[in-house]
Amino acid sequence: MNRIVSISRRRGKLYGAVAAILTAASLLAACTTSPNTGSGGELAITGYRNTATVVVFQDLASIDPAQGVDQNSANALNNIYEGLYRLDPTNAPIPAGALELPEVSADGLTYTIRLNPAAMWSDGTPVTAHDYVFSWVRGVGLPNAAEQQRTVGFVKNAAAIVAGDMAPETLGVVALDDHTLEITLEAPTAFFPSLLATPAFFPVPQHFVEYVGDNFGTTSEYVLSNGPFILTGFSGAGIGGDWTYVRNPYYWNVENVSLEQVNVRVVRETSTAINLFNAGEVDQVSISGPQVQQFLNSPSFVVDTTSTVGFLGYNHNHPVLSDQRAREAISLSIDRESLTALVLNDGSAPATGLVPPALAASPAGVDFADESVNLLQFDPERAAELWAQVRADHGFDTLTLNLETFDADRIATVAEYLQAALQDSLAGLTVTVTTNPVAVFIDKATLQQFDLYLPTWAASFPDPSNHLSLFRTGEGSNWGLYSNPAFDALLNSAQGANSANPGARWNDLLAAQQLLLEDQGVTPIYFQPSTVLRNPDLRGVEFRTSGPTFFFGNAYWAN
C-alpha cells in the first residue's frame, strides 16, 4: 500500500487517505456534474459542461509554497492552496483563509487575524493557525528558498533568521489558539495584508509535512490542498508532463467552484497550441508576436495589464561585466522601441525602468513608472565608444558571453534579438544563447552559472519594493551578485526609518531605482502584457496584475 494512504490517526484526527481522496476527486471529475453542493458536502448532480483545458509553455517547477518562485508555479500554488487573503480586481485583500481583515495595533507592528473555521485540508482535517506558523517558520529556515524568504522578510526577525543569526522559531508569528494568528512586523508595512495573499504566506499542513518529510511537494501524491482544487498528475520538477486541477470537495467554498476539473497541457510551441485551440481541444492559450495581430479582432482575444518586466542580468563577478561601462554599452545597444513594436509586436512596451506601470501609485496618486527618470536610451554610437574603452582597458580583442534563458516563445524572440543587436553594436563580441527548462534555468541562475541571464519578473505584491529589493546585497534573488551600499541604504530606509512616512518612503524607492539604472545593475528591456486566446464561453477566469495570475476557482461555463 502506498505509504501516504496508510497515515494513521494522531491526536484523535484522521490525517491521511490522500490517495483515496484523489481517487474520489478524480471520479467526481469524470462525471458530468455541476459544482453545486448539498448539505454535508454531497454533490448535487446536473448535466452541463464542467471541465476546461488550458495550455502552458513550461513544465511545473514546484508545488511547495516555500519554493515556487516562477509564475507557472505561483499559478499552480494559487489554485491548490489558499492563504489568509486573496486579492480583488483592485489588488485589495479580501478574506479567504481568514475570517476577516486583520486587527492592526496603533503602531502598525502587530496584526491579529482570526482564521476561517470552515477551512480544511483535502484530507478532511482543519486548517489551523499552527499550520501557518509551521509553514512560515519552515520557509525562512530552508537553505534554498531565498525569493520567498525575501517576501516573508517583513515579519520580525525574518532577515536575521535567513542570515543565520537567529533560529527559525524566533520568527514573529505565533498561534494564540487554533484559529488566531498574531504577527509582528519589523516595521510598519501598509501593504502587508496584500502580501498575505502570496504563496510565500500560504500554510502547509504540519501533520502531513512531518509525516512525508523531504518528499513533501515532490509530486502531486505528496501534497495536500486547502484551495479550490487538488493537484493530480504532477510527476516532479524537471520531469515534464501535463497536470490537472480537480475540484476539492473539502474546500470551504466548494459550492461556488463551478469547474470539476482543469486540465493543464504543456505545449512547447505557440503554433501548436493555437492549432489545438482552433480545433476546440483547449480552451485557453497564451499568444505573442504575430499571433496577437492575427487575433486582435477575435472574440477569443483577451489582453490584461501585468506587472511583468523582462530584463538582462549580469554576472557581476565577471572580469568584464563587473565594469559599469560594459553594462552601459550593452544597454545602449538595445533599441527597445523597435524590439517591442516591430519584433515582438504583441502589446509589449519599451521598459522605462525596472518597475512596470499600473503596479503602484504615490500618495498623490502618481504612477511610479510615470514619476521615474527614464535612463534606458538607445545610442549605438555611445555604446561603441564605451565598448572600445572596455576592450582597451581589459586587453581583449574578442569576447564570448553566454546568455542563459528559459524556454518560452516570447523570451526566445527577445534572446535572439539581443544576440544580434549586441554582436552588431559591440565589436569583437559573440553572444551564445542557452535555453533551459524553467527549473534548470532557476538552478543555474541561483548558482551564478551564466555571464548574462534573461528572465521575466512579475510582482507578487503591489509595491515598487517587490522588484527593487530583488537586487539588495545578499538577497537570494540577486543572482548576478550586484552590490551597491547606497542602493541598499535606500531600500533599508524605505522599509525602516521611512516605512511609516509614505512620501519619504516613495522618494527612497524612486532614488533606489534611479541608482540601480545608473549602475546598470540590471538592464530592463520590456514590459510584458498578458495576451491569451480563451473560449468566450469560459467566464470568470481571474487575472491579477500582481502575484499569481490565472485563478480558476471562480471560472464557469456560460453555455
Per-residue pLDDT tens for 203-226?
999 999 999 999 999 999 999 999
3-state SS record for 167-209: CHHHCCEEEEECCEEEEEECCCCCCHHHHCCCHHHCCCCHHHH
Q: Provide, rounded to the nearest whole percent, the portion of the chain with pLDDT above 90.
A: 71
User: What separation in angstroms does the CA of 128 have from each of 76, 118, 135, 225?
Assistant: 22, 10, 11, 13
pLDDT tens per residue across span 104-155:
999 999 999 999 999 999 999 999 999 999 999 999 998 876 667 778 989 9
170 within a domain of the structure (yes/no): yes
Mean pLDDT of the chain: 88
Nearest alpha-carbon partner for 82 in 65, 107, 101? 65
- Domain assignment present for 219: yes
Q: Which residues contact 330 (CB under 8 A, 6 or more apart)?
A: 312, 383, 422, 426, 520, 523
For residue 296, being part of any structural domain is answered with no
pLDDT at 4 over 70: no
Q: Is the pLDDT of residue 262 over 70?
A: yes
Q: How far apart are CA 550 and CA 534, in angstroms?
A: 12
The verdict on 336 and 399 lying in the same domain is yes
Residues in CB range of 212: below 8 A, 6 or more apart: 4, 222
Residues 255 and 364 both lie in one domain = no
Instruction: Judge whether residue 159 has pLDDT over 80.
Output: yes
| pLDDT at position 409 | 80
My answer on whether 475 and 543 are in the same domain is: no
Query: Using H for helix, E for strand and C for coil, what is the string for 369-436?
Result: HHHCCCCCCCCHHHHHHHHHHHHHHHCCCCEEEEEEEECCHHHHHHHHHHHHHHHHHCCCEEEEEEEE
pLDDT in tens, 365-390: 999 999 999 999 999 999 999 999 99
Question: CA–CA separation, 196 vs 191, rounded Å?
Answer: 9
For residues 520 and 547, membership in a common domain is answered with no
* pLDDT (tens digit per residue) in 377-433: 999 999 999 999 999 999 999 999 999 999 888 899 999 999 999 999 999 999 999
Please check whether residue 547 is in contact with residue 533, taking contact to mean a CB–CB distance below 8 angstroms.
Answer: no
- Report how far residue 547's alpha carbon sits from residue 460's, in angstroms, rounded to the nearest whole number: 4
Q: What domain range is 106 assigned to? A: 9-267+535-557
Residue 549's CB: how many other CB atoms inside 10 A?
A: 23
pLDDT at 9: 30
- Residue 47 confidence (pLDDT): 42
Residues 470 and 552 in one domain: no
Residue 177 has pLDDT above 90, yes or no: yes
255 with 354, same domain?
no
Sign of the CA dihedral with 455 first, then 476, 513, and 86 last: positive
Judgement on whether residues 19 and 39 belong to the same structural domain of the protein: yes
Strand 399-406 to 452-453 pairing: parallel
Task: Evaluate whether residue 419 is within a structural domain.
Answer: yes
Summarize pLDDT for 234-248 with one digit per residue, the tens: 999 877 789 999 999
CATH code for the domain in which residue 339 is found = 3.10.105.10
Give yes or no for a contact between 76 and 85, defined as CB atoms under 8 angstroms apart.
Answer: no
The pLDDT assigned to 146 comes to 65
Q: In terms of domains, do 227 and 355 share one?
A: no
7-53 pLDDT, tens digit per residue, is 323 333 333 333 333 333 333 333 333 333 333 333 333 346 899 99
Backbone angles phi, psi at 112, to 5 degrees: -110, 125
Same domain, 49 and 167: yes
Question: Would 281 be classed as within a structural domain?
Answer: no
Which are the contacts of 527, defined by CB distance < 8 A and separation ≥ 6? Answer: 306, 308, 309, 310, 348, 349, 350, 351, 356, 357
